[in-house]
A and B are shown apart, each in its own frame.
Chain A
Amino acid sequence: MKHEIIVDVKRDHILNLLNSGKRIDGRAFDEYREVSVEVGINQRAEGSALVKLGRTQVMVGVKLSVGEPFPDMPDSGVLTTNAELIPLASPSFERGPPDEDTVELARVVDRAIRESRCIDLEKLCISEGELVWIVFIDLHPLDYDGNLFDACTLGAIAALKNAVFPKLEDGRVDYKTKTEEKLPIVDTPVEVTFAKIGGHILVDPCLEEEEVLDARLTVGYNEKGEIVAMQKGGSGTFTQEEILDIVRRGREKAEFLRKHLPGDADGKN
């Protein structure tokens, strides 16, 4: 990702506003932008979702294929999370192989999905040691206006919950025939990102805030409110108290995000 120069006037304005208790887009410090989650928006994917976080838009597709399991986990399916920061989505995204921002995004989303054990990977075993389902989660931002972590994690879990198995015949996948059987999803992890700007802590940074933040902290929570993934970013630091506070406050935000996931009844394709 190309990093734009930070314009003093813009940074000072954001800081001045924060000092008087306001954010550049009028939100409260603990307020998300408008969240919307649509699922089943892609007929080629086994599961799909379009997440909007303000004007950030992310499409997530889940594809299933079959292959050999890892030798050390012969009865377990395989999960692969991939992100593409396509230059269509932002003037700062560049063509070419995945850069460190892309890889970090994919790994941080993967962490919450994997560590929450939200996919029952053992149920993805077709023939032990020989054939298992492979789950591909493709994170595809379409319009980048800040906070891809939360949007992508929400999209990933929405797309997973939306996913159904394609028909399997003689060890081969018939992608054109979908079954009624849903992917075994047993938890709904979500991630909540806070930014620190001039000593102020705020949730869901928009692009203008992201450009000037000192540090950010992403926390992933499972349904019980347990912490399943974390990632601190930015060159600035947090105090220990700030970290503890964020982790406590994030839980409620996670509940808020989770409410936007379509219920099982609407989660169908």
Chain B
Amino acid sequence: MERKLVIPGEEVAAGKVKLGDGVYREGEKVYASVLGLLDTSRGLVRVIPLTGRYFPKVGDFVIGFVKGTVYETAWEVDINSPYLAILNAGDYYRDVDPFRTPLQRVMSPGTTVYAYVREVAPTRRIYITMRQRGCRVIRGGRLIQISPAKVPRVIGRKRSMISMIVKETGCKLLVGQNGRVWIGGRNAKTADLVERAIRKIEAEAHTSGLTDRIKEMIVKERERV
């Protein structure tokens, strides 16, 4: 489907339409508020952003970096968003008693976690938890950063892209909605291949038939690996 590139201020609809993200109404007309692709396919008018930072939503999985502790009972975690996230001791994946074990000893600054956004408070305080399926401390492997706007393509519809990459390469893959991607695997060459595949998805995110092309690439290059 052809999607039009729109620029902030550009008129995208008029009259009675439902508004999604990336648009605003003034009088009878609807205009784009962000740079992106116009989408009217879901019964509403929205602009899919092509650039921009990550804003946490409840239900997102993110990859975070522990920055330090606050009040000795929680960690402060950088989740690549405008807001630092709070991970309370009680949200660590197993029981810890911060009054017996200093939290810095459990997770020191620079530790990487795969966590779940459990609350976005009206004050914009973000609470994350590791008490969700799949959440854990990440060690080893490699991290790459992609544009958060491109994450949906790396995940794919119903996780189709991730599943395909994992199946074809045997690598482990964690994709944070915040644009951080972790690749774990036994050998570096396969991880290199996965990294290249993800870079390709990022570069060609706007094109169709992407899953098939990426699969083709992996199968072809896998033989050389």
Q: A17-B188, A20-B188 are in contact. Are A9 and B109 (CB under 8 A)?
A: no
CB distance from B51 to the nearest CB of A (A): 16
The complex places the Cα of A20 from the Cα of B142 at a distance, in Å, of 15
Does the CB pair A5–B65 fall under 8 Å?
A: yes
Contacts of A17 in B (CB 8 A): 188
Contacts of B143 in A (CB 8 A): 7, 9-10, 13
The complex places the Cα of A16 from the Cα of B66 at a distance, in Å, of 22
Does the CB pair B78–A9 fall under 8 Å?
A: no
Contacts of A7 in B (CB 8 A): 65, 110, 112, 143
Does the CB pair B140–A5 fall under 8 Å?
A: no
Count A-B pairs with CB separation below 8 Å: 35
The answer to the question of B139 belonging to the interface, with a C-beta cut-off of 8 Å to chain A, is yes
**Main SS at interface, chain B:** strand
Contact with B along A1-24 (1 / 0, CB 8 A): 000011111111100110010100
Does the CB pair A8–B139 fall under 8 Å?
A: yes
The answer to the question of B7 belonging to the interface, with a C-beta cut-off of 8 Å to chain A, is no
The complex places the Cα of A206 from the Cα of B144 at a distance, in Å, of 15
CB distance from B138 to the nearest CB of A (A): 6
Q: A13-B141, A13-B143, A20-B188 are in contact. Are A8 and B78 (CB under 8 A)?
A: no
The complex places the Cα of A11 from the Cα of B139 at a distance, in Å, of 11
Residue of B65, B138, B182 ringed by the most chain A CB atoms within 10 A? B65
Q: Who on chain A is nearest to B78 by CB?
A: A5
Contacts of A12 in B (CB 8 A): 139-140
The answer to the question of B40 belonging to the interface, with a C-beta cut-off of 8 Å to chain A, is no
Contact with A along B44-68 (1 / 0, CB 8 A): 0000000000000000000001110
Q: A17-B188, A20-B188 are in contact. Are A9 and B182 (CB under 8 A)?
A: yes
Q: A17-B188, A20-B188 are in contact. Are A5 and B109 (CB under 8 A)?
A: yes
Interface residues on A, range: 10 to 19
CB distance from A209 to the nearest CB of B (A): 14
Does the CB pair A13–B142 fall under 8 Å?
A: yes
Residue of A5, A8, A13 ringed by the most chain B CB atoms within 10 A? A8
The complex places the Cα of A6 from the Cα of B65 at a distance, in Å, of 9
**Main SS at interface, chain A:** helix
Contacts of B142 in A (CB 8 A): 9-10, 13
Q: Who on chain A is nearest to B138 by CB?
A: A9
Contact with A along B121-147 (1 / 0, CB 8 A): 000000000000000001111110000
Partner of B67, one of A5, A16, A20, A22: A5
Contacts of B110 in A (CB 8 A): 5-8, 11
Q: Who on chain B is nearest to A26 by CB?
A: B192
Q: Who on chain B is nearest to A8 by CB?
A: B110
Contacts of A8 in B (CB 8 A): 110-112, 139
Contacts of A13 in B (CB 8 A): 141-143
Contacts of B109 in A (CB 8 A): 5
Contact with A along B66-97 (1 / 0, CB 8 A): 11000000000010000000000000000000
The complex places the Cα of A9 from the Cα of B113 at a distance, in Å, of 10
CB distance from A22 to the nearest CB of B (A): 8
CB distance from A204 to the nearest CB of B (A): 21
Does the CB pair A9–B140 fall under 8 Å?
A: yes
Q: Who on chain A is nearest to B63 by CB?
A: A9
Find residues 165-197 in chain B having any chain A CB closer than 8 Å to their own CB. Answer: 182, 188
The complex places the Cα of A8 from the Cα of B65 at a distance, in Å, of 9
Closest 7 CB pairs of A and B: A13-B142, A9-B112, A8-B110, A7-B65, A5-B109, A6-B110, A5-B110
* A5-B109, A7-B110 known, 12 other contacts, Cβ within 8 Å: A5-B66, A5-B67, A5-B78, A5-B110, A7-B65, A7-B112, A7-B143, A8-B110, A9-B138, A9-B139, A11-B110, A13-B141
Q: List 26 A-B contacts (CB under 8 A).
A: A5-B78, A5-B110, A6-B110, A7-B65, A7-B110, A7-B112, A8-B110, A8-B111, A8-B112, A8-B139, A9-B112, A9-B138, A9-B140, A9-B141, A9-B142, A9-B182, A10-B142, A10-B143, A11-B110, A12-B139, A12-B140, A13-B141, A16-B188, A17-B188, A20-B188, A22-B188
